[in-house]
Structure 1
């Protein structure tokens, strides 16, 4: 028998709860580490396999594509078949795929193994947040979400530096093999401490939606490819993929209204908390991607930093997020998620405004200060937003809702990489941004974050509208 982990709101966490949270934290760490650690190895892989960058970049794209296309479906599957069982399978798949990546003899097999690893990561991401409601008391949801956010930030921040050290010391295979022992540890902890799945009578079990699942996966794959292929140029292939995504979305929505057990119950989007949270998450992720797209060019081209300097400055953001995740969760528990969502977005708006007005003469410190403000606001927003959604979700919908939250973030990152990159290129008015003058790059950065400020303002408007509706409903 697995331990029952539900505790009273004010009770301190038991050892079983702590170990269960440890397994969930490692799951989040591994999936985010898998995203960031492979990027640093791309130059090495081009030499090892004698392949072009366009081919080698699929080592990264395949992983992200698998997560984006499958995260909602595996979340729903966990709701239907048992989240503990599926999470254990996901951790096992991720660990096995990590070993296959490490021993891959060719680039095509490495890409295939990374796709399998992305499947495992999708399961881990979707079900980790879904398990919070079964692991901690409702009053502690924010703290648990903050912890998961911290682990995600640590994985993102440590990936490039850890990957660089492993490649220098042990070769490229080590960046994949390092996650094998961590995966095995996570599997042992999850098997030992996560609560057992509750068995439902066969008559009460909903069916799975294979047609909707396939349509959603194809739609998301088409959109993700439309936004990532071409490395900044939007050609006919991108347009065709975007049209295919729109067609697929229409077919998916039509299918979901007709099947007995839909993958996503469209009626759930009538809930203003959920629909507003998903919209805000996408907008905020788009802005955060702008910092990763624009930052390296501004630091290298405008401020003249070398690769090591650029990496150190860019690591400030994830480091701040790692430090503020848990405190942000506790604040959300104390003052309420809606209020802290507004606080986080307002802080991000201040940071974007600072960058939109940043003179080139302010140098490195002038860039780091607003980035700290933006990241601090992001940590508060992300924790509060996830808490607002997941705290009151029905148990049989936790997996799919968690998947939707992760999907909204991924879609924002994918869209931001393409759209905000295009804004930066147009604002810089340079054919080749890598050879643009410092003042041109600086001007492009300021315009890009002026656009980012507008996106955050839109998210703020959504948050205030949602809060106003909630207050009106309480007083009615």
Structure 2
């Protein structure tokens, strides 16, 4: 093993890794752990699916948009200090989430939790890049990538155990002891690293936050406002348009600032970095897109408890953890892009199987079997993908590159969460009435009018599924039982169609991510970028012109 990039006073670089991946595991678990608690949180606060969707989106949004400035701040003030600050903020915000007395307070606490996560995440990659020598850097980043994959898929499993055993609050409170351990461990093992004084783009930060917020808000709230007007003449689609324009202005500003930018566009001159970001965006989109509708389906339609719903994902989660280290080693021997592309294919096959078997009568065992390729695929994607993306980063671009990669990956989660919530709620407003009309035609004529009255008297939306549909009070008990069963069938059939339609969007995202992987070059672990790549960019002195 070659000498480490920094002096660790005789310690192995691997001694630095545990507190970093422990903190990172906690962050990544919280991107998916809420999904399993959606029905419980709805019941506790009387919230809608859209409201609970914001519990996830608020965290993902603040997490994603602040990682770019957090990466730069880590370069300026040191990754160790930024990681510790983020760890404290994340842990305190986790406690506040558990004590929240309303859905609004919970969403606000999740925003702050996302701020802490954003401060931490780029520092984990930056420290690894700067502490580990090139020869062993790929293996360390492979562990980092494995943690990302395992944590994301393990979130619903851990959440199901906590919600079933102690209540939804514990999906947040469990972070407190983990955060304290990670804090002490970081102080003991993570070294102070050299800092680089850089220009901080405040205007760019505001543009990125504003643009992403407008797009995500519009996507997630579109169904609430029936994709029409929100305030006065302002419509949902106008918000989307304004958000995209603001993001375009952000990109133009980054181009003008060059190496002073929050997001140095020169990083994207490196082919693998660009394509890895596309794949990372799509896999994050897909991960959130899978768990949200499937978790609700398991609990609302199949009637599973949070714990039993979590068990459906448990075998895939364990399989992902087993496969990931082997995938990392395999990408040492063959071009890593083939491993990543194969991982996308496995995930796509898994979703195709779920799509084929999904029905209100599907068994848990069938779904567990269909999810096994999903576990294999996630184990194959994350580790090699991180290595392909970071092979050209060195200490001069570590913070910016890590911030960019993680920000784009999390933007995929934000957009995925918003798009899936919007599509699911939108489709439910159509599929359940269609299913109700189909079921009504099978009922005796004297029961059709009372049956149709159930749906006509309800503002049919995803929110009403949790409360169920009650027959009119003047219907005899014998008829009420038949009408209730028919209503349950209509809801089950309609919800199944909506979930399957939503899965098609996720499969499309996986196709894009897999194709992007196939077009990557053959850069190997431990192989730095060529002189024209981002590693050659001199960003240590912002007052000097960049050298290439």
Task: Give the shorter-chain TM-score range.
Answer: 0.7 to 0.9
C-alpha spacing 1:162/1:380, structure 2 compared with 1 (3 Å): closer
Matched, 1:215 2:237: no
Q: Is the contact between residue 356 and residue 448 of structure 1 (CA under 8 Å) also seen in structure 2?
A: no
Q: 1:253 aligns with which of 227, 251, 254?
A: 251
Q: Is the contact between residue 149 and residue 378 of structure 2 (CA under 8 Å) also seen in structure 1?
A: no
Matched, 1:86 2:82: yes
| Structure 2 Cα separation of the partners of residues 152 and 183 of structure 1 | 17
Q: Is the contact between residue 213 and residue 263 of structure 1 (CA under 8 Å) also seen in structure 2?
A: yes
Q: Is the contact between residue 148 and residue 382 of structure 2 (CA under 8 Å) also seen in structure 1?
A: no
C-alpha spacing 1:143/1:439, structure 2 compared with 1 (3 Å): farther
User: Which deviates further from its counterpart, 213-222 or 427-436?
Assistant: 427-436
Could you say which residue in structure 2 is the equivalent of 1:11? none
C-alpha spacing 1:222/1:350, structure 2 compared with 1 (3 Å): same
Could you say which residue in structure 2 is the equivalent of 1:206? 198
Matched, 1:464 2:462: no
Q: CA deviation at 1:246?
A: 1.0
C-alpha spacing 1:96/1:323, structure 2 compared with 1 (3 Å): same
| Structure 1 Cα separation of the partners of residues 342 and 68 of structure 2 | 29
Superimposed CA distance per residue, residues 241-294 of structure 1 (whole angstroms, 9 cap, x where no aligned partner):
312211211221232233362111223222221111111222222233332144
Q: CA deviation at 1:26?
A: 0.9
1:200-349 pair list within 5 angstroms: 200=196, 205-230=197-222, 234-237=227-230, 238-259=236-257, 261-296=260-295, 299=298, 305=304, 307-349=306-348
Superposed CA RMSD: 3.9
| Structure 2 Cα separation of the partners of residues 281 and 46 of structure 1 | 31
Q: Is the contact between residue 29 and residue 152 of structure 2 (CA under 8 Å) also seen in structure 1?
A: yes
Matched, 1:117 2:148: no
| Structure 1 Cα separation of the partners of residues 304 and 221 of structure 2 | 28
User: Which deviates further from its counterpart, 107-116 or 367-376?
Assistant: 107-116
Superimposed CA distance per residue, residues 44-91 of structure 1 (whole angstroms, 9 cap, x where no aligned partner):
666767777766665444322211221111112212322122112211
Report which of the two structures shows the higher radius of gyration computed on alpha carbons. 2
Q: Is the contact between residue 29 and residue 155 of structure 1 (CA under 8 Å) also seen in structure 2?
A: yes
| Structure 2 Cα separation of the partners of residues 379 and 330 of structure 1 | 12
Could you say which residue in structure 1 is the equivalent of 2:546? none
| Structure 1 Cα separation of the partners of residues 245 and 117 of structure 2 | 28
Q: Is the contact between residue 134 and residue 195 of structure 1 (CA under 8 Å) also seen in structure 2?
A: no
C-alpha spacing 1:131/1:331, structure 2 compared with 1 (3 Å): farther
SS at match of 2:396: helix
C-alpha spacing 1:107/1:16, structure 2 compared with 1 (3 Å): farther
Q: Is the contact between residue 297 and residue 441 of structure 1 (CA under 8 Å) also seen in structure 2?
A: no
| Structure 1 Cα separation of the partners of residues 164 and 303 of structure 2 | 25
| Structure 1 Cα separation of the partners of residues 149 and 317 of structure 2 | 5
TM-score (norm 2): 0.71
1:31-46 pair list within 5 angstroms: 31-38=27-34
Q: CA deviation at 1:457?
A: 3.1
User: Which deviates further from its counterpart, 112-121 or 30-39?
Assistant: 30-39
Q: Is the contact between residue 279 and residue 459 of structure 1 (CA under 8 Å) also seen in structure 2?
A: yes
C-alpha spacing 1:384/1:236, structure 2 compared with 1 (3 Å): farther
Q: CA deviation at 1:196?
A: 1.9
C-alpha spacing 1:301/1:127, structure 2 compared with 1 (3 Å): same
User: Which deviates further from its counterpart, 88-97 or 56-65?
Assistant: 56-65
Q: 1:189 aligns with which of 163, 172, 185?
A: 185
* Structure with more helix by fraction: 1
1:282-431 pair list within 5 angstroms: 282-296=281-295, 299=298, 305=304, 307-358=306-357, 363-420=363-420, 426=427, 429-431=431-433
| Structure 2 Cα separation of the partners of residues 286 and 38 of structure 1 | 16
Q: CA deviation at 1:28?
A: 0.9
| Structure 2 Cα separation of the partners of residues 319 and 199 of structure 1 | 39
User: Which deviates further from its counterpart, 227-236 or 40-49?
Assistant: 40-49
Q: Is the contact between residue 64 and residue 411 of structure 2 (CA under 8 Å) also seen in structure 1?
A: yes
Tell me the number of residue pairs that the alignment of Structure 1 and Structure 2 aligns.
Answer: 460
User: Which deviates further from its counterpart, 379-388 or 238-247?
Assistant: 238-247
SS at match of 2:17: helix
| Structure 2 Cα separation of the partners of residues 108 and 467 of structure 1 | 46
Structure 2 spans left out of the alignment, 5+ residues: 231-235, 434-460, 466-487, 531-548
SS at match of 2:432: coil
Q: Is the contact between residue 157 and residue 311 of structure 2 (CA under 8 Å) also seen in structure 1?
A: no
Q: CA deviation at 1:413?
A: 2.5
Q: Is the contact between residue 35 and residue 292 of structure 2 (CA under 8 Å) also seen in structure 1?
A: no
| Structure 1 Cα separation of the partners of residues 158 and 512 of structure 2 | 37
| Structure 2 Cα separation of the partners of residues 5 and 82 of structure 1 | 18
Q: CA deviation at 1:23?
A: 0.5
Q: Is the contact between residue 150 and residue 379 of structure 2 (CA under 8 Å) also seen in structure 1?
A: no
